[in-house]
Structure 1
Amino acid sequence: MEVFLCPSCHLPLWEPVTVSCGHSFCRRCLGEDLPSKCLVCADELVCLGSKTVSCNFLLCDLLEKCLDKDTRLARLKIDLEDLLRSGNYTGALRILKKGLGLAPDDLELRVCRSEVYVALQRYPEALKDLEVLCIQEPEECEIFFRKGKILLEMGCKSEALQQFQHCLTLNSNFHAAQCETEKVLTTDDFPLLDTVLELKRDVSQNLKESNSGKDPTLLMPSEGESLQDLKQSKEVWHEGTICDENLTSHTLPEWLQKKSNSIVFAKKEETEKGAVAETTGAESMQDIRSLLSTSDLECSLCIRMFFEPVTIPCGHTFCKECVERCLDHRPNCPLCKQSLREYLKAGKYRTTVVLEELMLTIFPSQLADRKQIHQTEMAELSNLTKNIPIFVCTLTFPGIVCSLHVFEPRYRLMIRRCQETGTKMFGMCMFENGKSFADYGCMLEIQKIDFLPDGRSFVNTTGKRRFRVLRRGHKDGYNTADIEYLEDEKVEGEELAELQKLHDCTYQLTQKFYENGYMTFRHSLMHYGPLPEKEEDIQASPDGPSWCWWLILTLPLDVNRKLAILSDTSLKSRLTQLKNILNVILESSEFSS
């Protein structure tokens, strides 16, 4: 399927890494250092909270389920070819271990790994692989020859000589083994025991018989001849034989090429690689659907199908909302516990594109149902009369600015939901013993949020409408309530005229309080700003004139008295109380002085 193809190499994803923008690439396509920009969307890429990129664990599992063994091996061997060509033996060894995990009996991979071990000078491991090959292919003298070469590198000349002799037992015309045998026997430090001398005579006899009838100058040199002279014998050092050079610099022997249909060491052009990708992606949609179930695309936190799947820097994947809720409590991955402080600080939770496309392609109806569930939940949270979130803190009033420092996980979740639903509103009530929170409060509307790197935030809000609590509840740790909004009683005619007169008189007293009481109530007046302007229609708002609430907030009254005024739906009663309080304050000797 095309959904599993890497956007860079256009081959099936191998060791997929999901970068910060949400796109996924093969690990090797990204390189050792993360590129500055995404190859698809050109978004700036950052490595958050980790020095190295981590593979997407979920994608690795899905690829293992959806791609057959031959496809995965073909993809693996393409990477292996490039790594060997560039001399990256450490990377090649990692690929080979995975390949042999998929196909333990693959002779080609086993030989290749032994050669990579040699290149890394890890001779004991190379010998182990060759011993397995000797059991699998006991008639192939090339394997025993390679084993002998490695033993020579380790300084085990006697053991190496035995391997070369076994090669000659299998094939008396194996000139490379004859050459190496003579080379070992002619070294000055080699102990010439009786058994070795006999072996030497056997080898010499084999050489003479195999070279009988040929040019005398091409015959095997005697003991006194130098190794350089030996190498100049074209019959001994025939084309294609691996002898003194590094094993990894040669292609696989012909006997192995005939047994394998692999593409690993064959030279492939980009067009051929494209053909491999086309073959790999040829599985039908029905085949992929039969291999996967919705449980394969299930968030381990909410145990539901992913909604807006996000892959965090450590490589684990969760729903976006689940990630945010976890980070509300602790800046660590809920599975591997890796620190996500840098990720939290960035605050960019991008969905994993390939997973979104996969769910849309394979499970469209299930994804639609999952989205419907989310929309239903958002609709419930958007209701501003039932189960509204309640921030239990202090008294707030209509039209008055209220700044909050949000740090508790439950309120971080609550504020985020208010943003996501689009209402940007929640209720504020003061604490009251025996009830969790008071019976009356005020709705607040979020104006601005400043997020801090550790997940805390400063939230600027403005008071909107008063309400009375009908029923209390809880949701995900925070309080909720069913409410009804309060509205001042309307009056007309003479009552309105009297109300207007009372309003104007109280406002004048408030102006005097504001102008002359600056020093006494400096802190309150500076904190809540200047006195609001008088409004023309005193009954225009269901909560009455806003300057009344400003005055209530600044007056040095007991909080329970303020709560009683907040719950009063009679503007006349409220103005009368304020007028009496102002008269007492203005008449006090301390204030008048």
Structure 2
Amino acid sequence: MDVDRDELSSSSVLRLEGVDDVEDFVWGDQVESASMSLGRFSHVYDLMDMGNKAFRENRFEEAVNCFSRAHSIKPDDPIILNNRCAAYLRISQFLKNRPPSASEHRPLSGLDPTIHAGLALKDAEQFMNMRSESVTPYILKADALILLERFELARDAIVSGLRLDASSIALRNLERITTNIFGRRQHGRPARTDDFDCTLCLKLLYEPITTPCGHTFCRSCLFQSMDRGNRCPLCRTVLFISPRTCAISVTLNSIIERNFPQEYAERKMEHEILTNMGPDLLPLFVMDVVIPCQKLHLNIFEARYRLMVRRIMEGNHRMGMVALDPATGSVADYACEVEITDCEPLPDGRFFLEVESRRRCRILRNWDQDGYRVAEVEWVQDISPLEGTKEAYDDMTLKVAAYARSWMKVAQEAAQTDQTRLVELHRAEGLRPSPSDPESFSFWLATLTNVRPLDRLSLLRLRDTRERLRRGYHLMKREER
């Protein structure tokens, strides 16, 4: 591609550095270290001489051809890479700055500035590997990245080059160019209007979803609204979508994240606080008293708990189960943490859950959050046995464990005609902890029999493992009779 000097000067809107001229391929310096025959080296020298001449006469495509032929013979030469990179950059610069009106008089088919800038970037990076102590490859790399409009990476290359030579005028000029361009792009961001707000929470859209009827909401806001009816909150169109099948608008989300980064980060933090509450905070499902070592199935249909389950499933899959204290009418002072091991969303918005109870806690305080209760908790363990009593303590645990095995066998035989009870016993047997963990084992004993809610709450409050083992033993004895 030949470039007229007048056309080149008139189109040079974007200034580059380090590409006004190329480096001469000096015969004396090269031939001494050349690992090739004199004839082949002479051919490389001639190609480089022709390429440099073509470059200086603005015949950049011809220069690239000469440099590429030389590179195929001597691929590890930094001067060849430097010169070819400069030629690629000049072609890309010319194409990028060329006004559209010029194409009417002199069309250029099949030439793309980004392709040549990409080729220049590859040469610059290879050149940098050979001469990492020189600022020249950093200048060329920054030029290529500017042409590719990757301004942040260009600034990184400039900073790295300035560490080698802080007085480099070329790098300082490129630094000013990238700062000006990047600043203009920052000022070119769209204005922060309420067009980017969710009409439900009146905040910046987070994880936006556009409905089939064309309205956009935060993902969590939309499905919280749909818990009360499967209609669009604005136009009341019936919506056949669910959290599992409905994807967020990736394009809109990236536009919001890129143009309003600080506000987006605040919205993201709000969302994470609701889904990952911290080690001492638990969302509460107020239903019944649960003790450790139980497996339960739950049908979640209330709107407030459907919202809670969605948030839990985005976090650690754990919640607290608690009952109302009949004496006070408020949430009981002890609860049990359960883990959701299986969650099946149903077409009507309900959730069918399988949960396993893990550990107990004491509720320090609780409050309302979007309709459901959240509690600050203190995790509770039994008091360790006194010194000198451990042997008797272990002996009691082993005796109760032996009785529990025989009791389970008898109970399963007696339940052959009652499939529901038989399934319960098999499920409990699968959750049986080792007697070497007496605290968990004592809770498991209590799950084998039908214990009233108030008695289960009493077991949660109890911090004496030996007493809980004794109660579990007597409960099995009572049911056996």
Pairwise same-fold verdict (TM > 0.5): yes
Q: Which of 267, 270, 279 in structure 2 is aligned with 1:384?
A: 279
State the Cα deviation string for residues 267-295 of structure 1 (Å, max 9, x = none): xxxx9xxxxxxxxxxxx8678646x3332
Query: Equivalent residue for 1:419?
Result: 313
Shift of 1:443: 0.1
Q: Which of 551, 559, 563 in structure 1 is aligned with 2:453?
A: 559
Q: Percent identity?
A: 27
Letter in 1 for 2:291: F
Question: Match of 1:513, SS?
Answer: helix
Q: Does 1:335 align with 2:234?
A: yes
CA distance, structure 2, for counterparts of residue 524 and residue 439 of structure 1: 31
- Residues 309 and 409 (structure 1 numbering): CA distance in 2 closer, same or farther, change over 3 Å? same
The question of whether the paired residues in 1 share the 8 Å contact of 2:292 and 2:440 is answered with no
Q: Does 1:445 align with 2:342?
A: no
Shift of 1:557: 2.9
- Residues 503 and 366 (structure 1 numbering): CA distance in 2 closer, same or farther, change over 3 Å? closer
Letter in 2 for 1:517: A
Query: Equivalent residue for 2:329?
Result: 435
CA distance, structure 1, for counterparts of residue 308 and residue 266 of structure 2: 24
Question: Equivalences for 1:172-211 in 2 at 5 Å?
Answer: none
Question: Match of 2:235, SS?
Answer: coil
Letter in 1 for 2:313: Q
Query: Equivalent residue for 2:353?
Result: 459
Query: Equivalent residue for 2:88?
Result: none
State the Cα deviation string for residues 528-583 of structure 1 (Å, max 9, x = none): 525355625235xxxx134x333312313322112211221111111112223333
- Residues 567 and 444 (structure 1 numbering): CA distance in 2 closer, same or farther, change over 3 Å? same
Question: Match of 1:329, SS?
Answer: coil
CA distance, structure 1, for counterparts of residue 186 and residue 455 of structure 2: 70
- Residues 319 and 436 (structure 1 numbering): CA distance in 2 closer, same or farther, change over 3 Å? same
Question: Equivalences for 1:350-499 in 2 at 5 Å?
Answer: 350-378=247-275, 381-386=276-281, 388-421=282-315, 423-433=316-326, 434-491=328-385, 493-499=387-393
Unaligned runs of 5+ in 2: 1-108, 110-183
CA distance, structure 1, for counterparts of residue 274 and residue 478 of structure 2: 52
Query: Equivalent residue for 1:538?
Result: 437
Question: Match of 1:374, SS?
Answer: helix
Question: Match of 2:293, SS?
Answer: coil
The question of whether the paired residues in 2 share the 8 Å contact of 1:311 and 1:317 is answered with yes
State the Cα deviation string for residues 407-429 of structure 1 (Å, max 9, x = none): 111111111111222x2110001
State the Cα deviation string for residues 144-197 of structure 1 (Å, max 9, x = none): xxxxxxxxxxxxxxxxxxxxxxxxxxxxxxxxxxxxxxxxxxxxxxxxxxxxxx
Q: Does 1:319 align with 2:218?
A: yes
The question of whether the paired residues in 1 share the 8 Å contact of 2:382 and 2:463 is answered with yes
Query: Equivalent residue for 2:472?
Result: 578
The question of whether the paired residues in 2 share the 8 Å contact of 1:310 and 1:352 is answered with yes
Q: Normalized against structure 2, the TM-score is what?
A: 0.56
Letter in 2 for 1:368: A
State the Cα deviation string for residues 16-47 of structure 1 (Å, max 9, x = none): xxxxxxxxxxxxxxxxxxxxxxxxxxxxxxxx
CA distance, structure 1, for counterparts of residue 248 and residue 478 of structure 2: 62
The question of whether the paired residues in 2 share the 8 Å contact of 1:294 and 1:363 is answered with no
CA distance, structure 2, for counterparts of residue 451 and residue 585 of structure 1: 38
Shift of 1:297: 0.7
Letter in 2 for 1:336: C
- Residues 469 and 367 (structure 1 numbering): CA distance in 2 closer, same or farther, change over 3 Å? closer
CA distance, structure 2, for counterparts of residue 372 and residue 581 of structure 1: 48
Question: Equivalences for 1:174-323 in 2 at 5 Å?
Answer: 289=189, 292-323=191-222
CA distance, structure 1, for counterparts of residue 436 and residue 218 of structure 2: 50
- Residues 550 and 336 (structure 1 numbering): CA distance in 2 closer, same or farther, change over 3 Å? same
The question of whether the paired residues in 2 share the 8 Å contact of 1:285 and 1:362 is answered with no
CA distance, structure 1, for counterparts of residue 410 and residue 273 of structure 2: 55
Question: Match of 2:367, SS?
Answer: strand
Comparing 508-517 with 357-366, greater Cα deviation is found at 357-366
CA distance, structure 2, for counterparts of residue 372 and residue 530 of structure 1: 40
Cα RMSD between the aligned structures?
2.6
The question of whether the paired residues in 1 share the 8 Å contact of 2:334 and 2:360 is answered with yes
Shift of 1:471: 1.3
CA distance, structure 2, for counterparts of residue 481 and residue 452 of structure 1: 28
The question of whether the paired residues in 2 share the 8 Å contact of 1:401 and 1:463 is answered with yes
Query: Equivalent residue for 2:30?
Result: none
CA distance, structure 2, for counterparts of residue 377 and residue 467 of structure 1: 20
Letter in 2 for 1:438: A
- Residues 317 and 288 (structure 1 numbering): CA distance in 2 closer, same or farther, change over 3 Å? farther
Q: Which has the higher contact order (CA 8 A, sep 6+)?
A: 1
CA distance, structure 2, for counterparts of residue 440 and residue 525 of structure 1: 30
Query: Equivalent residue for 2:424?
Result: 527
Question: Match of 2:241, SS?
Answer: helix
CA distance, structure 2, for counterparts of residue 471 and residue 363 of structure 1: 37
Shift of 1:491: 2.1
The question of whether the paired residues in 2 share the 8 Å contact of 1:400 and 1:549 is answered with no
State the Cα deviation string for residues 481-523 of structure 1 (Å, max 9, x = none): 2211110121265311111121122223222322223336954
State the Cα deviation string for residues 205-230 of structure 1 (Å, max 9, x = none): xxxxxxxxxxxxxxxxxxxxxxxxxx
CA distance, structure 1, for counterparts of residue 268 and residue 202 of structure 2: 15
Shift of 1:332: 0.6
The question of whether the paired residues in 1 share the 8 Å contact of 2:285 and 2:322 is answered with yes
CA distance, structure 2, for counterparts of residue 396 and residue 525 of structure 1: 21
The question of whether the paired residues in 1 share the 8 Å contact of 2:428 and 2:448 is answered with no
CA distance, structure 2, for counterparts of residue 580 and residue 351 of structure 1: 56
**How many residues are aligned here?**
293
Question: Match of 1:296, SS?
Answer: helix
CA distance, structure 2, for counterparts of residue 584 and residue 328 of structure 1: 45
Question: Match of 2:445, SS?
Answer: helix
State the Cα deviation string for residues 447-476 of structure 1 (Å, max 9, x = none): 111111111111111111111111121110
The question of whether the paired residues in 2 share the 8 Å contact of 1:439 and 1:469 is answered with yes
Letter in 2 for 1:431: L
The question of whether the paired residues in 2 share the 8 Å contact of 1:320 and 1:349 is answered with no
Question: Match of 2:342, SS?
Answer: strand
Computing the radius of gyration from Cα coordinates, the structure with the larger value is: 1
Letter in 1 for 2:229: R
- Residues 436 and 349 (structure 1 numbering): CA distance in 2 closer, same or farther, change over 3 Å? farther
Question: Match of 2:391, SS?
Answer: helix
Q: Normalized against structure 1, the TM-score is what?
A: 0.46
